[in-house]
Amino acid sequence: MTSVQLHYFALLREQRGLSSEVLATSATDAAALYAELSARHGFTLPIDRVRVAINGEFAPWNTPLLEGAELVFIPPVAGG
Amino acid sequence: MTFRISTTPLDPPTLARDLLDLRAGAYVEFQGWVRNHNEDQAVQALEYEAYVALAEKEGARILAEVATRHAILGAACVHRTGLLQLGELAVWVGVTAAHRGAAFEACRAIIDETKARVPIWKKEHYTSGATGWINCATRGDFATPAAPQPQAGPG
């Protein structure tokens, strides 16, 4: 199991019901973790409309999860 | 060249002063205001939220990229977060250049890229009481609701 820190924003924050959490997961990459969380919390955004940031920078979905990593799933942005 | 997220109201004259440059013959500014409608729905207020650390990092990259493509002297962008009322200033972009062409084009590029790339989210509060997170990220496309909303007609 890998322990990671998660921060949620906007629609995902509302669907998760909190802004951040520390989670132990058996997922090995960011995509698998998003799938795990989607199944558990009923996220409505498919993965192809979401990006992931790891340790404060955009990252590919197949990035391996490392102990203590900070992840943010980024819903479609809508500034302006 | 600064890109900043602000939790407090923006004052364009103050922001513009930071761009003063005696080499500049042109100053172009864009203000994004909270309007009272979107796709046939009456909007009462907007709520903005940002992943501040990455938003400011991505925003700085946008300013740097635009500066390499256009002959500008200075550029800055500030975006609000929090609950904004109709008519309030949500985003401000300022650009200086020796000549107006580069300033107009760079200003347009900065706001377009900001809308498309920077992790900022907008929730519309409608007069009906409903709310919806908006995806207006795709260049030139209509905004796509990120949550169930009444359907707007085409065009």
Report the complex ipTM: 0.96
Residues B135, A76: C-beta atoms closer than 8 Å? yes
Nearest chain A residue to B132 by CA distance is A11
User: Given CB atoms, is A53 within the 8 Å cutoff of chain B?
Assistant: yes
| Residue from the list A9, A45, A78 with its beta carbon closest to the beta carbon of B134 | A78
Q: What are phi and psi of A12, to 5 degrees?
A: -70, -35
What is the CATH classification number for the domain harbouring A58?
A: 3.10.20.30
Cβ-Cβ contacts under 8 Å, A10 against chain B = 49, 121, 123, 133, 146
Give the count of domains, chain A.
1
Report the C-alpha gap between B151 and B155 in whole angstroms: 12
Cβ-Cβ contacts under 8 Å, B136 against chain A = 78, 80
Q: Residue B39: its pLDDT value, please?
A: 87
User: Given CB atoms, is A59 within the 8 Å cutoff of chain B?
Assistant: no
Residue A7 belongs to what domain range? 2-74
| Residue from the list B57, B58, B147 with its beta carbon closest to the beta carbon of A11 | B147
Q: Residue B75: its pLDDT value, please?
A: 98
Domain annotation covers residue A79: no
Sheet of A20-25, strands arranged across:
A20-25, A2-7, A70-74, A51-54, A57-59
Strands (E), B8-135: 26-33, 37-38, 41-50, 72-80, 82-85, 89-97, 120-126, 131-135
Domain annotation covers residue A30: yes
Q: Residue B136: its pLDDT value, please?
A: 35
Residues B51, A80: C-beta atoms closer than 8 Å? no
Residues B119, A9: C-beta atoms closer than 8 Å? yes
Consecutive 10-residue runs of chain B (155 residues): their mean pLDDT?
97 98 98 94 96 98 98 98 98 98 98 98 94 62 40 40
Architecture label for domain B2-136: Alpha-Beta Complex (3.90)
- B4 token code pair: 């900043």
Domain ranges of chain B: 2-136
Residues A79, B118: C-beta atoms closer than 8 Å? yes
Domain annotation covers residue A12: yes
Q: pLDDT by residue for chain A (80 residues), tens digit each?
A: 999 999 999 999 999 999 999 999 999 999 999 999 999 999 999 999 999 999 999 999 999 999 999 999 999 999 99
Q: Residue B152: its pLDDT value, please?
A: 40
Domain annotation covers residue A40: yes
Domain annotation covers residue A65: yes
Domain annotation covers residue A80: no
Q: Residue B142: its pLDDT value, please?
A: 37
Nearest chain A residue to B91 by CA distance is A80
